Chain A
Amino acid sequence: MASVQARAVAAPQSFVREKILLGMGLREYVRSCCTKGNAIAAAILVVGVPILIYRFIAGLGATTALSQTAPWGIWIGFDMMTGIALAAGGFTIGATVQIFGLEEYHPIERPAILTAFLGYVMAVIGLLADLGRPWNIVMALFNYGTASALFEVAWCVMCYTTVLLLEFTVPAFEWLGWKKLHAVMRKALIGLTVLSVMFSTMHQSALGSLFLLAPTKLHPLWYTPFIFVFFFISAIIAGISMVIVESMLSHRVFHSQVANHPVDIDKLTLGLGKAGALVMFAYFFLKLQGVIDGHAWGYLATGYGAWFLVETVGFGLVPALLYAYGSRNANVKLVRIGGVMGVLGIILNRLNVSVIAFNWNQPVRYVPSASEVIVSITLVTIGVLLFRWIVNRMPILREDPRFAETHH
């Protein structure tokens, strides 16, 4: 197929061929997709997508283990709440670059925003799967249940996903070559970043506020009137940790893109680790304060207390120390391990608050059904596939030379 390459250089290709098929012919492209990784992803989709469709046909009872005492399961706890927390890299790195002016983090800004955008899209799909009457979600646009924290979550998520979409149009328009629109969006970026920090502050904390009204249902070690502060700070931690992990993976998987534009990802990782160390250190003490404020120290000696310490110390203080040690001694590997642990810690915290420590005093506890787990895995897989599709085509990890002068 050498002629393809020659033709690629010599004459302009059709939009589909150049932009979508990465310059290959259709048959060639399909053949290039037959990899082991794609086989696994396909297997997941083949099982998961029909289950998702079945859920919409047969209802929640047929596909989930939800019950009258456990109205929320992992589609809320993991897909929506954890998904949104782990997508916090969009506003943290966006603010770092655009507002604090730390331009050296620009190379990881776009992947972070893409991760955030896809994370929110997947979270919304997970939410739609969980809603009993998803078609009525538009009711939130016209009926203002303003006494509800969920109303705030719904509106802020809607607005923020829009902001993310607009931020994402910057690389998208570069890909499409729409220079004028691109210039417009590029200029809007600072305003969009301010909005993204604002909306993120509100809904990341509101996801915590959701549980304020269930003091008898959430275990006292996790329930505190300050839970909305905790959720916001841990969202920042989630953003930093997730970007460390995501940049590590992206630069390995997509190394061909970054080979010609070497980015000192290690230096950026160390910088993030430094910030992460300080925030996680403070967050650990915040959690302790929460326990004392709620007079709940007695529970530390129970089973749930041990579990609380696993989350707070094992996946909270330990990664903080790893970040500190690693960033001080320029040990990128330790910082990356800290990043993975930080991500796991956030997942653990959100799952604890929503399903594990929630309804802790009920005789019969919720355990997710196989279908729920498969659908969650499927949504994550779709998100990863979309991420890869976009990064392979659009200037996310690399710069588009035609627009280089408009970058910082």
Chain B
Amino acid sequence: MSIGRRGFIKIAAVTAGAAGAASVSAASPHAEGTDGPSVLVDTTLCVGCRACEAACAEKNELPVPPESDDVMQERRDTAPQVFTVVNRAEKDAGTVRFAKKQCMHCLAPGCASACPVRAMNKTPEGPVVYDPSKCMGCRYCMVACPFDVPKYEYDSWKPRVRKCGFCADRQAKGLKPACTEVCPSGALTFGPRSKMLELAKTRIYTNPGKYVQHVYGEHEAGGTSWLYITDIDLGKLALRTDVPEKDIPSLVSGALSAPPFVMTLWPPLLMGLYAFSRRRTPAEGEGKEHGKEDHHG
């Protein structure tokens, strides 16, 4: 379905020097004309120090994450007070891998398209942010997200949806997101998406056999801002691997283009049926008899 699709982006101009690498396909949606902020997560470099968790908690004024790394023995998910978690998995005997989970900040986010009041909104700069003042708590964004990211404050009487905000305020000031700032091992690299894709593919191609030949987030859900390269099945690291490549909003756009057609076609169709059925009664004379028609704007 290509209705209302934002057109081809002029990525080519930006990445003229990286022919085979950053080939963002023409069909994938993108923030208007910009090459948005992105983070490359290289799980082979992550040492599981969880400094990112601590930095995120500090920046967002969340409770301090547990000190002990024993928490990683269990698979954890994000939570209303936890915007990012690091999970751990065994690659093979003796080698462990870690992966950070947080909002993927999709290019065409399902949560933002699902929100009927635009409390969940994709900013032109890139991050997908949440405004609780508009939120009515329908939780449709939670249904929409294929990565199961948004979490809900069920225990509050004025609950909010909670997720990573990509440190949008920091980015507005030219700073990097808090987690990428503190990562000591270089597992997290922050930069424009085209560059991060280029970096990801370069690493894969220049280390044959090391990585799985897939950049997670390049096409998932139509493309996300957080990209992962790894040498282990990401499902083991608590990331959903059944995400379709079609972006979520495009799944709905076809059905959503129907209402204007219904509003245009139904009245003449129905009034025609009405007139036709009335014609059966003799001595009615004129064809179309209207009662006073109630028009709603």
A and B touch in their complex, CB below 8 angstroms: yes
- Give bound CA distance, A139 to B132, whole Å: 11
Can you spell out 9 A-B residue pairs with CB atoms less than 8 angstroms apart?
A71-B152, A131-B138, A133-B136, A137-B136, A184-B292, A188-B291, A190-B274, A195-B294, A212-B252
| Chain A residues engaging chain B, CB cutoff 8 angstroms | 56-62, 64, 66-69, 71-72, 95, 98-101, 130-137, 139-140, 143-152, 154, 156, 159, 162-163, 166, 184, 186-195, 197-198, 201-202, 205-206, 208-210, 212-217, 225, 228, 361
Known: A101-B274, A188-B293, A213-B114. A201 touches B256 (CB 8 A): no
Cross-chain contact A140 with B136 (CB below 8 angstroms): yes
Q: Is the CB of A210 within 8 A of B243?
A: no
**Shortest Cβ distance from A306 into chain B, in angstroms?**
23
Stretch at the interface among B31-39, B89-97, B155-163, B204-212: B155-163
Is B113's CB within 8 Å of the partner chain A? yes
- Roughly how many angstroms separate A146 CA and B153 CA in the complex, as a whole number? 26
| Complex alpha-carbon distance, A147 and B110, angstroms | 10
CA of A101 to CA of B275 in the docked complex: distance in angstroms?
A: 9
Flag if A209 contacts B255 (CB, 8 Å).
Answer: yes
Q: Name the B residues within 8 Å of A209 (CB-CB).
A: 252, 255-256
**Of the candidates A58, A71, A152, which one forms a contact with B139 in the assembled complex, judged by CB atoms under 8 Å apart?**
A71
Query: Are A100 and B267 in contact, CB atoms less than 8 angstroms apart?
Result: no
Task: Verify A150–B138 contact, CB threshold 8 A.
Answer: yes
Contact residues of B between 99 and 134, Cβ < 8 Å to A: 110, 112-119, 132-134
Binding site for A on B (CB under 8 A): 77, 79, 110, 112-119, 132-140, 142-144, 146, 148, 151-159, 240, 242-244, 248-249, 251-256, 258-259, 262-263, 266-267, 270-271, 273-274, 277-278, 280, 290-296
B136 and A213 contact, CB distance less than 8 A: no
Say yes or no: A145 contacts B118, CB within 8 Å. Answer: yes
Evaluate contact between A71 and B274: CB separation under 8 angstroms.
no
Nearest-neighbor residue (CB-CB) of B4 within chain A: A147
CB-CB under 8 A from A95, the residues of chain B are 270
Report B-chain residues with C-beta under 8 Å of the C-beta of A361.
242
Q: Check A139–B113 contact: CB distance below 8 A.
A: no
Given the complex of chains A and B, what is the CA–CA distance between A147 and B141 in angstroms?
12
CA distance A133 to B136 in the complex (A): 4
From A72, A99, A148, A205, B116 is in contact (CB under 8 Å) with: A148
Contacts of A186 in B (CB 8 A): 291
CA distance A335 to B270 in the complex (A): 28
Chain A nearest CB: distance from B82 CB in Å? 11
**In the bound complex, do residue B262 and residue A202 qualify as a contact, i.e. CB atoms below 8 Å apart?**
yes
A213 and B271 within 8 A (CB) = no
CA distance A159 to B200 in the complex (A): 50
B residues less than 8 Å from A144 (CB atoms): 118
Using Cβ atoms and an 8 Å threshold, which residues of chain B touch A159?
296
**A59 lies within 8 A of B116 (CB):** no
Contact B263 A152, beta carbon cutoff 8 Å = no
B292 touches A225 (CB 8 A): no
Check A194–B156 contact: CB distance below 8 A. Answer: no
Instruction: Chain B residues near A133: list those with CB within 8 A.
Output: 132, 135-137, 158-159
Q: Considering the complex, give the chain B residue whose CB is closest to the CB of A127.
A: B138
Residue of B nearest to A191 (CB): B293
Contact B255 A101 (CB under 8 A): no
User: How many angstroms from the CA of A9 to the CA of B294 in the assembled complex?
Assistant: 40
List the B side residues contacting A69 at CB < 8 Å.
148
> Please, how many angstroms separate the alpha-carbon atoms of A225 and B251 in the complex?
8
**Which of A71, A195, A215 is packed against the most chain B CB atoms within 10 Å?**
A71
Residue pair A189, B116 in contact (C-beta under 8 Å):
no
Are B136 and A72 within 8 A (Cβ)?
no
For residue B296, give the distance in angstroms from its CB to the closest CB of chain A. 6
Q: Assess the A149–B252 pair: CB atoms within 8 A.
A: yes
In the complex, A137 Cα to B273 Cα: how many Å?
37
Give the CA-CA distance A194 to B292 in the complex, in Å: 12
B152: chain A residues at CB < 8 Å are 66, 68, 71, 132
How far does the alpha carbon of A210 sit from the alpha carbon of B140 in the complex, in Å?
9
Tell which of B139, B240, B244, B267 touches A198, judged by Cβ atoms closer than 8 Å.
Answer: B267
With contacts A68-B151, A132-B137, A195-B294 taken as known, whether A213 is within 8 angstroms of B118 at the C-beta atoms is no
Contact check, B139 vs A132: say whether CB atoms are below 8 A apart. yes
Chain A nearest CB, measured from B238 CB (Å): 12
Instruction: Assess whether B159 is in contact with A201, with CB atoms less than 8 Å apart.
Output: no
- CB <8 Å contact, B116 and A145: yes
Given contacts A71-B143, A136-B135, A150-B138, contact A101 B277 (CB under 8 A): yes
How many angstroms from the CA of A361 to the CA of B94 in the assembled complex? 31
Contacts A136-B137, A151-B117, A191-B290 supplied; 18 other A-B pairs, CB < 8 Å: A71-B142, A99-B274, A132-B159, A133-B135, A139-B119, A140-B117, A145-B115, A147-B253, A163-B294, A163-B296, A194-B293, A198-B262, A202-B262, A205-B255, A206-B259, A212-B252, A213-B143, A215-B244
